[in-house]
Amino acid sequence: MMSSFLFRAMDARAGLFLAIMAAVIILVPACNLLLPEGSTFHVPNYAVTLMGKYLTYALLALAVDLVWGYCGILSLGHAAFFALGGYAMGMYLMRQIGTRGVYGDPILPDFMVFLNWGELPWYWYGFDMFWFAALMVLLVPGVLAFVFGWFAFRSRVTGVYLSIITQALTYALLLAFFRNDMGFGGNNGLTDFKDILGFDIQADTTRAGLFAASGLALVLCFLICRAITRSKLGKVLVAVRDAESRTRFLGYRVEHYKLFVWTLSAMMAGIAGALYVPQVGIINPGEFAPANSIEVVIWVAVGGRGTLVGAVLGAVLVNFAKTWFTAALPDIWLFALGGLFVVVTLFLPKGIVGIVSQGWTALRQRKISEDYEAGSDEPPSQAPQSPASPANVSPKTSSSTLPADAEPQPAE
């Protein structure tokens, strides 16, 4: 009975999220394209791009939440997968420029002409085709994550050690992509894009389309994550998170579960990066910076780790705050962000969604018990405060059976 109640709560939350997302995906582009500029409800172009960017961040946060919130793998290198997806898309967009570049070379991107490169490096082949680039957006982060995870999880690198080497991974990639010899534009990265799939990348309709695509990708990945976390697989993942050794001794191949969810998460991050690049119009090695990866973690922590909605909410909220702070009070932003890290870890270990759902559960149960004490004709169908069920002695312990509220700590 308790579990059905919980699932209903989850459903309500997910349903609410999906409804809001549907509204956003339809309304924002519509208000941007259909309403005249003077209208109160008109969404300006920059806001569409900005919100589209938030959506890709939200997708990245979702990917981090999947591995951290449900599997206890704290990745400090997810920005690497994000940036790799972004570079794959950026390479496609570079090839689309064609002769419209500064040097007008039909094959070579501008920076290669500038560096006196004779011909296109082999790893740029195929990126003139969208399907190939789209495949690479998934494959490059996926393969990297698979190889990395294969080694790391098999040798049981966990906890802080794993976090540190994920950071080393993204740092190494940062240094590598800064090199001009790599053939990815070095310090400047890839930019000056002209069009995507034949549409002008600067056009309002394209931007609205990209926004909608980001929203749809987010919804799709959300549904995938939800399906995974609610399946038996998801239960095993939570078990790995809470007691890795015990799960292993129960006969589960922990590293396989971890590897699967890790690779999937990296691919999602790659999609996020691929949607991010055409909207901001540039991808450069700065995206690999370890600080970016750590920031993603705080988005998840703010929203509530182990709650998929929380990751999305946290990403949007923190980034909105960042946009606002860096414009209005640029000196304060780092104080605010740093303070956020401390406050959230100290006082909000379950994030905003955790607090809200806890409060909501408590409220609901108080109401039920009040009804009961007021002498309503029938006892409530659920028995949240029934002393016979030890799990439901108090609202606090009952809430702890929520997957969202379990301590997401790896067993150390």
Partner 1 sequence: MSLMRSFLLLLSLAASLLATPALAQSDAATLRPLINELAKGKYSETEKQIGALVATGDPQVAPALEALSDGDLYARKADGEVFIIKKAGKAYTLIDPLTMETAGEASKREIKKIKVNNSLRRVIRSALGSLTLMAPDPAVRMAAAEAIFKAKDPDGIEALDAAIAAEADDGVRKKMEEARAAAVLNSDMDEAAKLQAVSTLGTMGNRDALSRLIAVQSSSEGALREAATTEITKIEKSIAAWDAAQNIWYGLSLGSVLLLAAIGLAITFGVMGVINMAHGEMVMIGAYVTFVVQEFIRSSAPGLFEYSLFIALPLAFLTSGLVGVAIERGVIRWLYGRPLETLLATWGISLVLQQAVRSIFGPTNREVGNPDWMSGAFEIGQMTITYNRMWIIVFAMLVFAGLMLVLKKTPFGLYTRAVTQNRRMAASMGIRTPWIDALTFGLGSGIAGIAGVALSQIDNVSPNLGQGYIIDSFMVVVFGGVGNLWGTLVGAMTLGVVNKFLEPYAGAVLGKIFVLVFIILFIQKRPRGLFALKGRAVEA
Tell me how far apart the alpha carbons of residues 362 and 198 are, in angstroms, rounded to a whole number.
Answer: 54
Regarding 75 and contact with partner 1 (CB under 8 A), the answer is no
Select 252 or 341, whichever has its Cβ closest to partner 1. 341
Which of 19, 107, 135, 176 lies at the binding interface for partner 1 (CB under 8 A)? 176
| Identity of the amino acid at 271 | I
Tell me how far apart the alpha carbons of residues 209 and 199 are, in angstroms, rounded to a whole number.
Answer: 10
Regarding 96 and contact with partner 1 (CB under 8 A), the answer is no
Regarding 111 and contact with partner 1 (CB under 8 A), the answer is no
User: Within 13 A of 72's CA, how many CA atoms are on the CB side?
Assistant: 29
Which of 15, 44, 104, 338 lies at the binding interface for partner 1 (CB under 8 A)? 338
CB of 325 to partner 1, least distance (A): 12
Structure tokens at 95: 């090839």
Helices of type H across 34-77: 45-69
Select 112 or 144, whichever has its Cβ closest to partner 1. 144
Regarding 373 and contact with partner 1 (CB under 8 A), the answer is no
Regarding 340 and contact with partner 1 (CB under 8 A), the answer is yes
> Are the C-beta atoms of residues 12 and 353 closer than 8 Å to each other?
no
What are the angstrom distances between the C-alpha of 204 and each of 15, 108, 199, 210, 291? 30, 28, 10, 10, 32
Select 331 or 377, whichever has its Cβ closest to partner 1. 331
Regarding 23 and contact with partner 1 (CB under 8 A), the answer is no
Regarding 345 and contact with partner 1 (CB under 8 A), the answer is yes
Residues 179-218 that bind partner 1 (CB under 8 A): 179
Question: How many Å from the N-terminal Cα to the C-terminal Cα in the chain?
Answer: 33
Strands 282-283 and 195-196: unpaired
Q: Could you identify the residue written with the tokens 């898309």?
A: 89
CB of 72 to partner 1, least distance (A): 8
Total binding residues toward partner 1, as defined by CB under 8 A: 45
CB of 186 to partner 1, least distance (A): 11
Which of 327, 328, 342, 388 lies at the binding interface for partner 1 (CB under 8 A)? 342
Select 377 or 412, whichever has its Cβ closest to partner 1. 412
> Are the C-beta atoms of residues 348 and 302 closer than 8 Å to each other?
yes
Structure tokens at 32: 């941007």
Q: Can you state the angle between helices 2-33 and 351-373, rounded to 10 degrees?
A: 130
Element counts in the chain: helices (H) and strands (E): 15, 4
Tell me how far apart the alpha carbons of residues 389 and 325 are, in angstroms, rounded to a whole number.
Answer: 49
What are the angstrom distances between the C-alpha of 193 and each of 82, 100, 105, 128? 19, 10, 15, 13
CB of 5 to partner 1, least distance (A): 29
CB of 376 to partner 1, least distance (A): 43
DSSP state of 6: H
* Sign of the C-alpha dihedral computed for residues 347, 352, 355 and 359 taken in this order: positive
Which of 98, 126, 349, 380 lies at the binding interface for partner 1 (CB under 8 A)? 349
Select 129 or 291, whichever has its Cβ closest to partner 1. 291
CB of 342 to partner 1, least distance (A): 4
Regarding 151 and contact with partner 1 (CB under 8 A), the answer is yes
Residues 293-332 that bind partner 1 (CB under 8 A): 294, 297-298, 301, 331
Regarding 256 and contact with partner 1 (CB under 8 A), the answer is no
Name the residues that contact partner 1, by CB under 8 A. 74, 148, 151-152, 154-161, 163-165, 167-169, 171-172, 175-176, 178-179, 290, 294, 297-298, 301, 331, 334-335, 337-342, 344-346, 349, 409-410, 412
